[in-house]
Amino acid sequence: MKILKITTTLLLIFLAAFTVFYFWARSPVYSESEYSKLIEFSSGTAPAIGDTFSVITYNIGYLSGMTNNLAVDRPLDLLESNMEKAIKLLKKRNPDIIAFQEIDFNSKRTFNIHQQQKLGLQAGYKYGAEVVNWDKNYVPFPYWPISYNFGRMLSGQSILSNSAITSNTRIVLPQPESNPFYYNDFYIDRLAQLVWVETSQDSMLIINVHFEAWDGPTRELQAEIVLDIYKKYEKNHPVILLGDFNCTPPFAENAFDENTIEILLEHSSISMAIEKSQYLQNPETYFTFDSEKPYEKIDYIFYNNKYLNCLNAEVLHEAGEISDHLPVRGVFTFTPKTQKIIQ
């Protein structure tokens, strides 16, 4: 009887401790009011983006290379080396606008380095906008061994710009309903980040997204929501929609059995920077994942063809294994219609 009482007591103590840990771990450190920030890296005025400009989207996987999400040692040297490579890439390509996904602001897994701050300052950008999609006291992933758990997490999406950013809005997209509640309690929030940037022609909207990775129906729902957002602005403004959509093109040989990308492409004013005919000439050239042995395209730049023309688009293989993704670059100009409207 004594053994049973002791066992029961120990079990109750364990359950109480686990419950306390669970609710502490899943809790955020910051308030939602701090989840959307505008940053000015240097003082003084900056010129508006010109008639021709370049844009990059890059899931940098918190600069972890091919170690992303693996239960392995991730030394500071690796992150610092990849940071230097990323800065060098940005200085070489000098995009007017760059949108990041999976960028850390203050996370244990990246030694509490504010990655956007460092990239923005050292690559010479004047403005930044960040949104948080993962704020937890403790993330127990990768699951085992415990020593490789991510722990304290503050991560998200961001945009750097050479031109003034006037607004930054964070929109949370649905989580998979099929996930158990305790999984979603620790899961990343998928976001649409809406950033307005000043250009020589008009205010331009950049929609930076990071879609669900594992659940196709949720991705399709997220695409529908983002399309509705796009429709609100397409008639009066140039819009660029870009990011990690976690889905292959519908015309790819290994296309996912879902309509995520088709939902966007079926809308008449939306064009893809790397269009179908370009992609089909040499699909391997346009794969963005993974960076070690690319086998699929899941990162995109879309644009409002009523206001913008795409002059050139490419996947930057030169980025190597800074991340497990490769960046996509597009060069754009405003349509004559846009210029006429502004005049």
Q: What is the pTM of this model?
A: 0.94
Beta-carbon-side half-sphere exposure of residue 38 (alpha carbons within 13 Å): 11
Note whether 293 and 302 are within 8 A (CB).
Answer: no
Specify the amino acid at residue 4.
L
Measured CA to CA, the distance from residue 75 to residue 83 in angstroms comes to 13
Classify the phi-psi angles of 94: left when phi > 0, otherwise alpha if psi is within -120 to 50, otherwise beta. left
Q: Give the three-class secondary structure for 152.
A: strand
* CA 241 to the chain's CA centroid: 12
Compute CA distances 154 → 13, 30, 32, 151, 231, whole Å. Answer: 31, 9, 12, 10, 31
Note whether 132 and 156 are within 8 A (CB).
Answer: yes
- For the ranges 77-86, 182-191, 215-224, 320-329, the lowest mean pLDDT is seen at 182-191
- Domains in the chain with CATH codes: 31-342 (3.60.10.10)
pLDDT at 1 over 70: no
Q: What is the mean pLDDT of residues 141-160?
A: 94
Listed residue (303, 337, 341, 260) closest to 97, CA to CA: 303
Residue 148's CB: how many other CB atoms inside 10 A? 16
Cα angle at 235 between 234 and 237, to 5 degrees? 65
Compute CA distances 247 → 222, 244, 256, 257, whole Å. Answer: 12, 8, 7, 10
| Interval 194-229: pLDDT, tens | 999 999 887 999 999 999 999 999 999 999 999 999
Measured CA to CA, the distance from residue 145 to residue 289 in angstroms comes to 27
Q: What is the mean pLDDT of residues 66-93?
A: 96
